[in-house]
Amino acid sequence: MLKKSKGLKSRLIELKKFDITDIKGSSSDKIKRIIPKVFKTVRKAIAGYKKELAELPKEIQTVPKEFWMEIEEKAAILGIDLIGYAPIDDKLMFEEDHIGGIEVLYQNAIVLGMEMDYDAIDTAPDPPAGVESMNIYAELGEATNKLTNFIRSKGYRAIACHPLGGPILYPAMAVKAGLGQIGTQGLLITKKFGPRQRLSLIAVNISPLPEKIEVKFEIEAYCQKCKRCALMCPVNAIYDEPIVNENGTVTRIDGENCIQYFYETTGCSVCIKECPFHKIGYKAMYYSRL
């Protein structure tokens, strides 16, 4: 019933390496308000996880179909823009969740996404883009905690996985949940927002999941022709050809190069800003190909 990592390694994000002292003007005031909220939402998620561990359920709980409608209504009220469902794939679970310390998950997942502001991301790699990334870590973190509490209030068991860090590879889980596909820059690309969203997840001890509606959405052909993110990455961190690892996962980014620049700019986001799925959207991309 409980899922554990099969040994997938994760990259440590060292929050103290984000240098916010260089951020000036209104972005400076905003980031000073946002960072404490990020930490607060992380702490709440950790506290909730510890409560779950204190008395683990013995068997999976069954929910009626209508329950999922309630969840989606509540998620929309909380400002969550994307929602999908998939069983937890333990091969995608990290050996270590550096931020939240989560080691076990229930067997099913609700995958969540929240849009980042278009104009803010369009300033990348300048501070408003990084500040918006942090803002959505805080907002989605809070919404994920609240939706988890809502599920618990209905008598079901749930573990909130914060958007910052996390115990599982969110983009790959989002693909399994039918929310989109992975682009050359390794990010989830959705029809609604392209790569311009942050992701989180709630692991739930409930079943059956709603039936998945298959949506035809192919981006590989676009990526093969485009490669714009790789060209525009300021530190050449995006591989031309992805590396397929022994465990079946795919590495698209030179993580060491990316993370240094990511720290320096408090969140970079150039490969989001430059992606045509962000610039003009999926529909326009689709018709431009005809």
Instruction: Output the DSSP codes for 74-95.
Output: HHHHTT--EEEEEE--GGGBBS
* Strand 82-87 with 238-244, pairing: unpaired
Residues 176-215 vs ligand SF4: string with x where CB under 6 A? -------xxx------------------------------
Choices 36-44, 46-54, 90-98, 224-232 (CB under 6 A): range interacting with ligand SF4:
224-232
187: tokens are 């990010």
- Verify binding: residue 252, ligand SF4, rule CB under 6 A: no
**Which of 5, 49, 258, 266: binder of ligand SF4 (CB under 6 A)?**
258
Least distance to ligand SF4, CB of residue 266, Å = 11
* Strand 61-62 with 206-207, pairing: parallel
24: tokens are 């000036």
Least distance to ligand SF4, CB of residue 269, Å = 6
- Verify binding: residue 80, ligand SF4, rule CB under 6 A: no
Q: Which residues are CB-contacts of 137 (< 8 A; sequence separation ≥ 6)?
A: 38, 41, 162, 163, 164, 198
**161/268 with CB nearer ligand SF4:** 268
- Verify binding: residue 237, ligand SF4, rule CB under 6 A: yes
- Verify binding: residue 38, ligand SF4, rule CB under 6 A: no
Choices 74-82, 155-163, 207-215, 271-279 (CB under 6 A): range interacting with ligand SF4:
271-279
Choices 136-144, 154-162, 170-178, 270-278 (CB under 6 A): range interacting with ligand SF4:
270-278
- Verify binding: residue 172, ligand SF4, rule CB under 6 A: no
**38/271 with CB nearer ligand SF4:** 271
**42/253 with CB nearer ligand SF4:** 253
**175/223 with CB nearer ligand SF4:** 223
**Sequence-separated contacts (24+) of 218-227 with Cβ below 8 Å:** 218/181, 219/180, 219/181, 219/183, 219/189, 219/277, 220/181, 221/289, 222/276, 222/277, 222/285, 222/289, 223/183, 223/184, 226/184, 226/276, 227/184
Burial (CB count <10 Å: 0-12, 13-18, 19+), residue 92: buried
- Verify binding: residue 13, ligand SF4, rule CB under 6 A: no
- Verify binding: residue 42, ligand SF4, rule CB under 6 A: no
Given a contact cutoff of 8 angstroms between Cβ atoms, the answer to whether 251 and 242 are in contact is yes
What is the total count of residues that contact ligand SF4 (CB under 6 A)? 25
Binding positions for ligand SF4, rule: CB under 6 A: 183-185, 222-223, 226-229, 233-235, 237-238, 253, 258, 261-262, 268, 270-271, 274-277
